[in-house]
A = this chain, B = another copy of it.
């Protein structure tokens, strides 16, 4: 009995990714147990060819980016990874080699982040590829990091560096020259989910989320959820050396870094007296963090100030994929 291409594709490419509970991807669903004393954390993010990644991005990094943007949602909740399901609608005529590369990237990140495929579905589309991933994680009941909870007076913190992903996209589009080390393009293609940091600050941070739609817009979410405003000192926002060099040459670029997407850093607030503890937790997690401003009384709005204290005009509120 010959099986149609859909099943052959699953057997050849996806079955090797399957983990415990996936039932070898041969049943109608996965069956698993959540460890005692842990809560289930679950999120789903999709990526569309030409919207969230470029058609000529390497397939290895596309699979990894899909997994990592979802892992970033777990990080934002203070959760640890458990597994994932994935539905792929590949464009008609996708090459077997391309799928092999996509899967190779997933396999690499499964090892790096300690999780495995639990199930999903594979189909075709006449349009751009649509990739959807559902991520499962767990968290201790008293260590859930939420968006609500910021208070006026809190410090605002962000991990890593801001703006690399948005600059990387412009590099890959040929709009600006690439940095010699390829740092910016790599940051666009391979975000770094801050899982260790998320777990380290859960309980310390008053509110937190990941920055996926631009720092200013996402800080606006923390404002709305907390019923307060925020002030950011532009000079305190951490930039990579590559981004810093570009901003030095063109200071107007800064505004687009603060509102660009694809950062996948953690943004959180904490009481000022917790600052040293936050720094210590971040050091244990091996992730740099920077204090970029504070939450303030008033309506939910974000003001970014330059070195003179003047507000900086921002080109756009953030990035919408719709």
Contact = CB atoms under 8 A, between A and B. Distances in A.
Interface of A: 1-7, 9, 23, 26-34, 39-46, 48, 50-52, 72-74, 76-77, 79, 85-89, 118-128, 130, 132, 134-137, 139, 144, 146-148, 209-210, 217, 220-221, 223-225, 300-302, 317-322
A4 B2 CA distance: 49
Given A31-B40, A132-B46, A139-B31, A123 B300 contact: no
A210 B28 contact: yes
Contact of A87 (B46, B148, B220, B224): B46
B124 A48 contact: yes
A210 B27 CA distance: 10
A176 B139 CA distance: 54
A31 B144 contact: yes
Given A4-B322, A123-B321, A302-B1, A29 B43 contact: yes
Contacts of A79: 29
A134 B89 contact: no
Given A123-B322, A130-B130, A320-B6, A32 B27 contact: no
Contacts of A120: 44
A208 to B, nearest CB: 9
A159 to B, nearest CB: 14
Contact of A40 (B34, B87, B122, B317): B34
Contacts of A48: 89, 123-125, 130
B3 A29 contact: no
Given A4-B317, A126-B50, A322-B6, A33 B40 contact: yes
